A and B are shown apart, each in its own frame.
Chain A
């Protein structure tokens, strides 16, 4: 059986992208830590605290702790999405393999397009496991607290997927544009973890803060856990505006990445 033998009905180029990612041991380890590991540690700590001192620490599950778990998963999931996106976008270039792919005659657009589902298939499989652990724990360990409803679990999961997908897409586009994995990761993490919260905290920026992706992502979070996902001051905005902001950022990054992939000397 070959390494590209189809376990999923994916096109061959997409499966090739998945192969390149899943064979990077370091990437697999760090993505697993930031998603599955993060969920395990979060609920493990909450469970231990509750077991050690039930009077002071409530049950590890429930809606509130789902919110806490979601914050951890969204922040670390954004980091994972950034790393996976940057690797997917610049991995072939860094290894010099992009040239080997171009000389096959396959269109550069097709090579770029395959990166999106390939990278997402890899990233979201880890995110799904991590979130499933969080969701199960928030129900199983709810104890006396209200357990999250199925609807909340579904909407929170969808939001987490949206968040991770957004940061992945942004990193993929930027990495394909600049051609450097490390620069992309450093720049985007600085933006996500440093610049973005600062911008959102500057009230004087007013509606200008609506263009910061963090504000839009918070606006789209399920209401029951929105408070936990907020990066700074709340920025009131319409759902449609939030959707448009995320779409515009991702589309711009991907379009620039695709353009550079098509035009760069291989």
Chain B
């Protein structure tokens, strides 16, 4: 992968807006996606995720605002910007009467000459080498999805934009996809993953933006957004004494212990042990991405 980019961001948008009549699908989005990361773009259905991706890729025109892809102004420098971008938008589509390989050849013909030499590698990477000469109409949904990824890889992409790439994949396929995305990021590429599968995004991505009603409402690293909760799960040899000792900090009794409000798990442990209570389990809780996502989007619903 060659890069001549100088900006630390692979995607930069400013005030990006798309209206369909009176409906605002994307509303003044300011987005900065750092290079070399797996970036999740999350939002409920109809939040404007795909519309933003379509604008970034020059599939539809923005109503207002500006955007830069790999340091190139879009849509003015469209050819240069997209030369190193691979993408799946919504479900990947293919000519069903052509083989998987022929479909890649069609797209490679539209790219630089070197793209042809990448076909075999791309097919191997997504595990389709054995079926490369079969017609796409005989492929399962998951195989068509993987063919879409192979097509995106023909660009030798610095930036991969994958819109719901887990659709149609079985659990093993999802695991393969996750590993492949991490491997691509390890090679220095950036992967933008638009998805409603919060668990997959949390497992796969380094940073996320949450979008709702066309606006980016939160943006940051997974660690920042999921973060530590102010609670610790504690299982002891004597929960009755532990509850008395920890006084009003016990939030509730759970199936196998107590949920205790405390920022410092070590301090809780020290106090219990010093009181002669054995601690079998001590687990600082984290706020899952799903919980944070629901908090944010439900808060917005209340505000609306």
Contact = CB atoms under 8 A, between A and B. Distances in A.
Interface of A: 2-4, 12-13, 15-16, 19-20, 23-25, 91, 95-97, 99-107, 111, 265-266
B235 interface: no
Contacts of B78: 105, 107
From A3, A96, A103, A111, name the one whose CB has the most chain B CB atoms within 10 angstroms: A103
B51 to A, nearest CB: 10
A105 B87 CA distance: 11
Contacts of A3: 99, 101-102, 105
Contacts of A103: 57-59, 82, 85, 87, 89
B179 interface: no
B82 A104 contact: yes
B110 A16 contact: yes
B151 to A, nearest CB: 6
Contact of A101 (B60, B80, B83, B107): B107
Given A20-B95, A25-B97, 18 more contacts: A2-B101, A2-B119, A13-B109, A23-B95, A95-B94, A95-B95, A97-B94, A100-B93, A100-B107, A100-B151, A101-B106, A101-B110, A103-B57, A104-B111, A105-B81, A105-B85, A107-B78, A265-B60
B186 to A, nearest CB: 24
A12 B109 contact: yes
A15 B57 contact: no
> Interface range on chain B: under 10, 10 to 19, 20 to 34, or 35 or more?
35 or more
A20 B103 CA distance: 9
A24 B87 CA distance: 26
Contacts of B83: 105
B60 A104 contact: no
Nearest to A101: B110
A147 B155 CA distance: 58
Interface in B84-98: 85, 87, 89, 92-98
Nearest to B89: A99
Given A20-B98, A23-B98, A106-B111, A99 B106 contact: no
B116 interface: yes
Nearest to A266: B59
A165 to B, nearest CB: 23
B102 to A, nearest CB: 5
B106 A97 contact: yes
A95 B106 CA distance: 13
Given A105-B81, A105-B82, A15 B58 contact: no
Contacts of A107: 78-79
Interface string B198-227: 000000000000000000000000000000
Question: Max chain B CB contacts within 10 Å: which of A19, A91, A105?
Answer: A105
Given A105-B81, A105-B82, A99 B93 contact: yes
B211 to A, nearest CB: 20
Contacts of A97: 93-95, 103, 106
Q: Which 6 A-B pairs have the closest CB atoms?
A: A105-B82, A96-B93, A16-B109, A12-B109, A106-B110, A104-B110
B88 to A, nearest CB: 9
Contact of A111 (B82, B97, B103, B110): B110
Contacts of B155: 104
A13 B81 CA distance: 20
A99 B59 contact: yes
B141 to A, nearest CB: 14
B59 to A, nearest CB: 4
Nearest to A3: B102
Contacts of B107: 100-101, 104
Interface in B45-64: 54, 57-60
Given A2-B116, A19-B105, A102 B94 contact: no
Interface string B96-127: 11110111011111110100100100000000
Contacts of A91: 95
A103 to B, nearest CB: 5
A6 to B, nearest CB: 11
Nearest to A111: B110
Given A103-B58, A265-B59, A16 B106 contact: yes
Among B81, B85, B107, B155, find the residue whose CB has the most chain A CB atoms closer than 10 A.
B107
A240 to B, nearest CB: 39
Interface centre among B60, B85, B94, B95, by most chain A C-beta atoms within 10 angstroms, is B95
Nearest to B135: A23
A181 to B, nearest CB: 13
